[in-house]
A = this chain, B = another copy of it.
Amino acid sequence: MAVITAPRPHPLAPLSAAEHTQARDAVAKLHGPSETIFFRAIHLQEPKKAELQPFLEAEHTGALTEDTPRPAREAIVEHDVIRADRAEYINAVVNLDNGKVSTVSAPVPHQPYFTPESYTMLSGEFDLFNDHCINSDLFKDAMSEFTLPEGFEVCVEPWPYGPPNADEENIPRLMQGLVYAKDARNGNPDSNHYGYPIPIVPIMDWHTKKITKVERIATGGIGDELEAKVRSDKPVKLFENHKGCEYVPELLDVPLRTDLKPINITQPEGASFTVQDDGLIEWQKWRFRLGFTPREGAVLHDVHYDNRSVMYRVSFSEMTVPYADPRPPFHRKQAFDFGDGGMGRAANNLELGCDCLGAIHYVDALMTEPDGSPSPGKAVVCLHEQDNGILWKHTNFRTSRAVVTRNREFVVQFITTLANYEYILMFKLDLAGTITLETRATGIVSVTGIDEGKTSAYGNIMTPGVMAQNHQHVFAVRIDPAIDSYNPADSQVIIEESHSQKIDPKTNPYGNFYKVQRQKVEEATWVDAEPRINRLLKFENANKKNPISGKNLGYKLVAPTTAMLLAEPEALAARRALFAHHNAWVTGYRDGELWAAGEFTNQSTHEVGGVADMVKRGDWFTDRESNGANGTNGHAEDEGKRSSPVVWSVFGLTHNVRVEDWPVMPVEIFQLHIRPTDFFTANPALDVPGTRNNASVLLGGSCCTSSGDKNNAAMAQNNPVTHLQGSGAAVPAKDAGANVDEKLGKRLSKTFNGIFGSKKEVKEVN
């Protein structure tokens, strides 16, 4: 395979199909006939920061030449080597400059994520899992305990096995299934099976492909025991009084609304942004590179505003969804949507006019097939502009002159489906230098069966016999700042708090003073939210001051303050998601450390290599003697060193399910803002024109005084506004109707114009 030559791609450009295939072939060549390779994912191996930094600096200063040193162009090839007795998960790195495999990891002692294309078959493990279950005697035996309504089919949905119990040492790669029935009588393939849960959980060993166990689920309510009852000989009739739970329009038993008139969003002169083939995106004064990884989905690299760096990398890192039903096996019902599945792998193909409105640019990404060949993931990201109300306004009350500008946003959106559930994830950039990350949770809540008529302390009834379990979605966002510099030594994180102060005759005589306190984060740590003192994190450049304020150039993190993981700290669900215990973490930068819960979450019993381990390692952010090994090089991976801070923001939804969340839930939204604080020398959006939009139209007349106005004019005849000359005295009631003075009337008008700028149009008196 020929080495790829000039024009050389940007170091952050996604792999081309040619590079993808080159990497695949290089790894394939390593293996002999006895070895079968399953290719999980092939994607860009992001350059080491220390190697990329000089390249980016040269690029941004216009000093880039063919001779500029650049990091090796590398691909990571995640693959399984399948042997007779076992399968080994291996990460290989291929150097695309010379076509050689540069590193091959040792087989990983963890269960890797699930992919659509498991090594165990070609036909999709989800399908095969379903078939294996349905054909298994164990499963048939379990199913014989139930009778389904005529015309219903069984349907098994694969779930990660979750955390093994204490007595499950060295277990193989397992999958557990949630079992549903589907009303097939309507012949509609999208008939919603999620509303018909069957209370058994089959478990399959992926290596033997045998169903090893079918667990029974308790279906009781308040006061009933946690364990499933032994069934009577007589099969239990399921779903006899079921109300149905369809969501596709043709199956709804309610008519669709017909009175929602269209809103059209158009850009007749085109959009204000440009997109290059290599992922470079420019909009207004923003410039960044869009990445897309199988695990994270969209990622922002090298984010600049007005040619000044703001962020090295911003990404959604992880999310865990533990369920709060104490009844086994639900303690194992916990998904890590990034680590067990992958938001990029699960990305929707977005639809114009549905997922995104307006003038939209779609971005494709390469996916990897089981044999390592690339296949296109079409329209997995959409890019567009949108209006978000008013950005800034001021009215001069003396003249009534108003200046108002609109808040335009640039949106990077992707949407993922993980079995029953959807996540809509967005990066938004605005005209005032703010970066916003938004999460929207929607889709179908996960349910289990409950004896009809009973209620539960573990969830809420969605429809008779069906309970949605309380659960949480805890997100982690990873922020690698570069505040007007890519020099790690410039980067610091500050905790700012605002504290009440006791009354003191010398410093606070009236008690209205509050003290803004700053504390530098000296070494890796977690930080909890404390809204009572307005605690927030700031990303700062320790060596560059704002010329106006004299303070460090900075950005601040404005994150949602939410409950953290509620599982008891000793719970399996908690031990494997330590990241979800604190609102924020500050860790030392290491190349490739992107995962809040660690790289391997599937079947994990505790968090390995996640933020908690990064903190334990004890990296520090100011000069000091390295304890032990040299602080800056030659260190062991698990040993602290002088580093630059990376911030992880954690927030989430404690989802005590509402009936309104059924059968598909309205979005639950969170927004995290990264806002400039003394990064600029003034409002960066001061130069946004307050142009009037001429496409807007006036509806009807004004309402509440449209009649009133007429009366008003009429009354004005009967009760002319009246003023005495000069003095400050006001209207003698009995004199109403006398001494009209036009000059004073005008003065009055001017006054109306003036005060509070509230009334541009006034009634002249005469």
Contacts of A367 in B (CB 8 A): 758-759
Q: Is A406 an interface residue (CB 8 A)?
A: yes
What separation, in Å, do the CA atoms of A758 and B509 have in the docked complex?
64
A417 touches B442 (CB 8 A): no
List 17 A-B residue pairs with CB atoms under 8 Å apart, sorted by A's residue number: A16-B705, A21-B719, A117-B755, A122-B748, A189-B396, A257-B689, A265-B693, A359-B699, A366-B708, A378-B761, A390-B442, A508-B568, A511-B569, A512-B567, A534-B654, A660-B679, A661-B683
Asked if A361 meets B699 with Cβ closer than 8 Å, knowing A263-B267, A503-B570, the reply is: yes
B33 touches A392 (CB 8 A): no
The 4 closest A-B pairs by CB, nearest first: A511-B571, A116-B755, A331-B510, A511-B568
B267 touches A261 (CB 8 A): yes
Tell me the residues in window 311-330 of chain A with beta carbons closer than 8 Å to chain B beta carbons: 322-326, 328, 330
What separation, in Å, do the CA atoms of A127 and B276 have in the docked complex?
57
Q: Is A551 an interface residue (CB 8 A)?
A: yes
Asked if A463 meets B696 with Cβ closer than 8 Å, knowing A371-B722, A376-B708, the reply is: no
Contacts of A703 in B (CB 8 A): 275-277, 279, 361, 363-364
Asked if A687 meets B272 with Cβ closer than 8 Å, knowing A422-B394, A571-B503, the reply is: no
A373 contact from B390, B573, B695, B715, Cβ within 8 A: B715
A758 touches B348 (CB 8 A): yes
Task: Tell which of A50-58, A88-96, A611-619, A724-732 binds the partner.
Answer: A724-732
Q: Is A28 an interface residue (CB 8 A)?
A: yes
Q: Name the interface size band of chain A.
A: 35 or more
Task: Tell which of A138-146, A168-176, A244-252, A479-487 binds the partner.
Answer: A244-252
Q: Is A648 an interface residue (CB 8 A)?
A: no
B692 touches A563 (CB 8 A): no
Tell me the residues in window 177-228 of chain A with beta carbons closer than 8 Å to chain B beta carbons: 189-190, 209, 226
Tell me the residues in window 32-58 of chain A with beta carbons closer than 8 Å to chain B beta carbons: 32-33, 35-39
A751 contact from B124, B272, B433, B501, Cβ within 8 A: B124
A14 touches B190 (CB 8 A): no
Tell me the residues in window 415-432 of chain A with beta carbons closer than 8 Å to chain B beta carbons: 415-420, 422, 424, 431-432
Per-residue interface assignment for chain A, residues 110 to 127, with 1 indicating a CB less than 8 Å from any chain B CB and 0 otherwise:
000001110111111111
What separation, in Å, do the CA atoms of A189 and B396 have in the docked complex?
9
Q: Is A270 an interface residue (CB 8 A)?
A: yes
Asked if A119 meets B660 with Cβ closer than 8 Å, knowing A16-B711, A402-B351, A562-B531, the reply is: no
Task: Tell which of A97-105, A230-238, A379-387, A638-646 binds the partner.
Answer: A379-387
A440 contact from B33, B36, B376, B390, Cβ within 8 A: B390
A417 contact from B247, B322, B511, B757, Cβ within 8 A: B757
What separation, in Å, do the CA atoms of A702 and B377 have in the docked complex?
11
A704 touches B363 (CB 8 A): yes
Q: Is A682 an interface residue (CB 8 A)?
A: yes
Tell me the residues in window 722-766 of chain A with beta carbons closer than 8 Å to chain B beta carbons: 722-724, 728-734, 736, 744, 747-748, 750-752, 754-763
Q: Is A550 an interface residue (CB 8 A)?
A: yes
Q: Is A349 an interface residue (CB 8 A)?
A: yes
Identity of the chain B residue whose Cβ is nearest the Cβ of A653 in the assembled complex? B534
Q: Is A255 an interface residue (CB 8 A)?
A: yes
What separation, in Å, do the CA atoms of A496 and B331 have in the docked complex?
23
A500 contact from B568, B682, B730, Cβ within 8 A: B568
Q: Is A262 an interface residue (CB 8 A)?
A: yes
What separation, in Å, do the CA atoms of A358 and B693 have in the docked complex?
9
CB distance from A489 to the nearest CB of B (A): 24
B254 touches A707 (CB 8 A): no
A262 touches B691 (CB 8 A): yes
B751 touches A122 (CB 8 A): yes
Asked if A512 meets B331 with Cβ closer than 8 Å, knowing A683-B666, A733-B29, the reply is: yes
Task: Tell which of A60-68, A454-462, A586-594, A628-636 binds the partner.
Answer: A454-462
A757 touches B693 (CB 8 A): no
Q: Is A502 an interface residue (CB 8 A)?
A: yes
Contacts of A307 in B (CB 8 A): none
Q: Is A256 an interface residue (CB 8 A)?
A: yes
Q: Is A499 an interface residue (CB 8 A)?
A: yes
Q: Is A665 an interface residue (CB 8 A)?
A: yes
Contacts of A269 in B (CB 8 A): 261-262
A270 contact from B123, B261, B572, Cβ within 8 A: B261
A548 contact from B284, B516, B659, B682, Cβ within 8 A: B659
Q: Is A580 an interface residue (CB 8 A)?
A: no
CB distance from A691 to the nearest CB of B (A): 7
CB distance from A738 to the nearest CB of B (A): 11
What separation, in Å, do the CA atoms of A35 and B709 have in the docked complex?
30
Identity of the chain B residue whose Cβ is nearest the Cβ of A356 in the assembled complex? B696
Task: Tell which of A339-347, A519-527, A602-610 binds the partner.
Answer: A339-347
Q: Is A370 an interface residue (CB 8 A)?
A: yes
CB distance from A668 to the nearest CB of B (A): 9
Contacts of A402 in B (CB 8 A): 348, 351, 354
Tell me the residues in window 386-418 of chain A with beta carbons closer than 8 Å to chain B beta carbons: 386-387, 389-404, 406-408, 415-418
Asked if A284 meets B259 with Cβ closer than 8 Å, knowing A659-B546, A703-B277, the reply is: yes
Taking A28-B736, A357-B693 as given, write out 11 further A-B residue pairs in contact, using a Cβ cutoff of 8 Å, ordered by the A residue number.
A123-B751, A259-B272, A348-B395, A373-B716, A390-B440, A460-B549, A498-B654, A499-B566, A503-B568, A663-B682, A664-B683
What separation, in Å, do the CA atoms of A536 and B656 have in the docked complex?
12
CB distance from A670 to the nearest CB of B (A): 11
Asked if A705 meets B346 with Cβ closer than 8 Å, knowing A394-B247, A499-B566, the reply is: no
B408 touches A376 (CB 8 A): no
What separation, in Å, do the CA atoms of A17 and B756 have in the docked complex?
22
Contacts of A378 in B (CB 8 A): 702, 759-761
Q: Is A71 an interface residue (CB 8 A)?
A: no
What separation, in Å, do the CA atoms of A581 and B356 have in the docked complex?
42
A728 contact from B128, B398, B563, Cβ within 8 A: B128
Asked if A687 meets B444 with Cβ closer than 8 Å, knowing A127-B754, A365-B705, A460-B678, the reply is: no
B267 touches A266 (CB 8 A): no
Which of A326, A358, A570 gathers most chain B CB within 10 Å?
Answer: A326
